[in-house]
Amino acid sequence: MPDSVYKLIELVGSSEISWEDAAKKAVEVAGRSLKNLRIAEIKNLDMKVENGKVTSYRARVTLSFKYES
């Protein structure tokens, strides 16, 4: 990996199923337009609550990919 440069971006994925599904969706959607994805790191997990019930899960993900100019 000498002479490689990687860019980091932060994404938030959401899911009505689970945090894992939310994180997976964030990475998969980013993968549609970004090439050379490398590492995804979960930064925060939270939930949306309505009327005392969990309605969705959110995962904040930092994603790295190889930067090519």
What pLDDT score does 2 carry?
A: 67
Residues 58, 20 contacting (CB under 8 angstroms)? no
**CATH number where 16 lies:** 3.30.1660.10
Digit-coded pLDDT (tens) for 12-35 = 999 999 999 999 999 999 999 998
Asked if the structure places residue 1 within a domain, the reply is: no
Say how many domains are in the chain.
1
Q: Which domain holds residue 36?
A: 6-64
What is the tens place of the pLDDT at every residue in 46-63?
999 999 999 999 999 999
Q: Is 69 within a domain? A: no
pLDDT band (50, 70, 90) for residue 3? confident
Q: Residue 27 domain-assigned?
A: yes
Asked if residue 49 belongs to a domain, the reply is yes
The model's pTM is 0.84
DSSP the chain: -TT--EEEEEEEEEESS-HHHHHHHHHHHHHTT--SEEEEEEEEEEEEEETTEEEEEEEEEEEEEE---
